[in-house]
Amino acid sequence: MASASSAILWAALFTLAVLVFHAEGLRFDLIGPHAKCIGEEIQKNVLVVGDYQVIGVTGGDPSVNKVSVKVTSPYGEQLHLQESVERGQFGYTTKESGNYAVCFWQPDSRTTATLTIDLDWKQGVFAKDWEQFAKKEKLDTLELELRKLEEQAQAIHDEMLYMKERESEMRDLNELTNSRVAWFSISSLFICLAVAGWQLYHLKSYFERKKLL
């Protein structure tokens, strides 16, 4: 019973790890001079690697098969830049949490071609070169799988803490917004009452001057 429960727990952890720290394979079209950006929310201290390649050209000169690529951090720091290439790679470890973006565009702004691009974007556990790690640490297959599970469990723990932190930030922001809205509503009410009182005083003075009261 204990072994069955343990197996179910590890299976659940592995499934959650696949959902949280995944390898994302994308294929999309880059139409003419229009840039296309893909972003994802990633927490800090996460390894990210990517491979991209132009695999097809339609609707234009077949020789126009180059693409320019830029990767930026949440605060606009340039992490990778390649211009006029058919394929390339990027890799970095995130320094802060936030939205990381990779943007593609065609170098020739006058082009009418449509490029088909493959992007393989890996994060966390899936971005690590486990084959080289196993050779370096001299691990057998079972030890390697256990190490993967250990790192996946740690990654899940870190992701849960990050989500908890984000939830706390959003709650504080909502409370601050509600407080400001309440004070604005109260201030608006007092201003309206003050304006109404001033108008009544002005009308009363006017009618008294005209001897209508």
Residue 133 backbone phi and psi in degrees, to 5? -65, -40
As a whole number of angstroms, the distance between CA 28 and CA 21 comes to 22
Residue whose pair of structure tokens reads 């003419």 in the numeric block: 32
Residue 198 CA from chain centroid, whole number: 52
29 occurs within a structural domain: yes
Q: What is the DSSP letter of 95?
A: S
82 occurs within a structural domain: yes
Percent of the chain with pLDDT over 90: 39
Which has the higher per-residue pLDDT, 83 or 152?
83
pLDDT, mean of residues 202-208: 81
Amino acid found at 22: H
211 occurs within a structural domain: no
Q: What would the pLDDT profile of 107-142 be if each residue is shown by its tens digit?
A: 887 888 899 999 998 888 887 777 777 777 777 778
Which has the higher per-residue pLDDT, 152 or 49?
49
Q: For residue 30, give the CATH number of its domain.
A: 2.60.120.380
177 occurs within a structural domain: no
166 occurs within a structural domain: no
202 occurs within a structural domain: no
Domain span at residue 106 reads 23-128
72 occurs within a structural domain: yes
Q: Which helix (H) or strand (E) holds 5?
A: helix 2-20
Count of CB atoms situated within 10 Å of the CB of 120: 15
> Strand runs (DSSP E) across 32-86, as ranges?
36-42, 47-58, 67-72, 78-85
192 occurs within a structural domain: no
* Total number of domains constituting the chain: 1
Average pLDDT in the chain? 82
pLDDT at 13: 46
